[in-house]
Structure 1
């Protein structure tokens, strides 16, 4: 938010009286939106101007821009991760299709967000490593377990055999198809007049219809 001259006079005294912990939270909150709009190449000096504070205030709370980016990662990615998703993928009281549908509906509800998507893409383009770290979470906690669960459904491969890249890529394809809905909206700016819940459900259903054909062919 860019402050006008009239709003600065009202805002700065209030912020000067903030507690240190509250000011730090405010900096992170403003940094999330700033980096979402400007990418990680955005200057912290510009962020300070937007907040109506001096540049030194930011570095009083964060020793470097990288330290601020790390806090943004924690705020928007780590804290939005729900550990219950990992248990859901392994819950064999439900079909794997139902598990993946529930996961992606919950995931879309949590991450289909302007700040989340744009920072994710910006991080990947600027090689800050945040995207790679987050995708490792997806790989270890969702993709690999789901691929192993798929073996249980079709019993075509022993669980003792290491997962192949082809098995993993099937689920990366599903993940990418769901996430592309958010890319179209928040990166490309496409006007999406769709029911996201229905779109996600149909995407997962289409995936499992295709996977079933692949495994039936392999087993013949």
Structure 2
């Protein structure tokens, strides 16, 4: 498999070969969205639409003909970068008890890395949190519901603990799952935001992360439920 980090920086906006070429509406809309993705990744959401239009070689009124507000353009960026890269098939990986939990988590995070370890994905996500754009809240709600809660459920099953139907889910368990996801995400932040080198063999690093997580969770998970019960 290809290394997701080998694409570092390739998603930055490239200069247009011919800014004056006439485009049909669908081509123009795609050009604006692609340009906005690179622009926001480099400048954050403080970037002005007039600067984006100038960069694209179009007028600001033409940009607003396709996207009547900056917010509508940001929404399209969210759809393009975050929702379209989400693979619904990932959601069936973690609950698949025909395979060991370590294998399930490892496969998920390897596939997920190939979708999100990317210059524009990481930087737009960080900028949205700093600016207060709701991209973070909406996307992290998906992560919690589709990934983290299922991880906690499968950890209980793997460790021989009561199911959530018998013992309610608690925030300490959720923090445990966030720990694994946080390791995964911070590696991308170090590379795409801080410009620091990281291991080239991302698959091997993810395998190590998952083993450490599952082993550590086995040691503390039961005591978490006992504290919650008390």
Give the RMSD, CA atoms, in angstroms. 1.9
Find out whether 1:81 has 2:106 as its counterpart: no
Partner of 1:165: 171
Contact 1:2/1:51 (<8 A) preserved: no
Contact 2:191/2:197 (<8 A) preserved: yes
Partner of 2:197: 191
> For 1:1-220, what aligned pairs fall within 5 Å after superposition?
1=13, 11-14=18-21, 17-160=22-165, 161-215=167-221
Cα shift at 1:182: 0.3
Q: What is the CA deviation profile of residues 109-136 of structure 1, one whole-angstrom value per residue up to 9, with x for unaligned ones?
A: 1100000000000001111111110000
Q: TM-score with structure 2 length normalisation? A: 0.87
Query: Alpha carbons of 1:218 and 1:43: their partners in 2 closer, same or farther (altered >3 Å)?
Result: closer
Q: What is the CA deviation profile of residues 114-160 of structure 1, one whole-angstrom value per residue up to 9, with x for unaligned ones?
A: 00000000001111111110000000000011111111112222432
Aligned equivalents of 1:2, 1:103: Cα separation in 2 = 31
Aligned equivalents of 2:106, 2:216: Cα separation in 1 = 15
Aligned equivalents of 2:14, 2:95: Cα separation in 1 = 46
Cα shift at 1:108: 0.7
Contact 2:39/2:47 (<8 A) preserved: yes
Aligned equivalents of 1:113, 1:29: Cα separation in 2 = 15
Alignment: residue pair count = 213
Higher relative contact order (CA 8 A, sep 6+): 2
Where does structure 2 lack aligned partners over 5 or more consecutive residues? 1-12
Q: Secondary structure at the match of 1:159?
A: coil
Where does structure 1 lack aligned partners over 5 or more consecutive residues? none
Cα shift at 1:2: 7.7
Q: Secondary structure at the match of 2:107?
A: helix
The worse-fitting range, judged by mean Cα deviation, of 199-208 and 70-79 is 199-208
Q: TM-score with structure 1 length normalisation? A: 0.91
Query: Alpha carbons of 1:218 and 1:114: their partners in 2 closer, same or farther (altered >3 Å)?
Result: closer
Cα shift at 1:50: 0.7
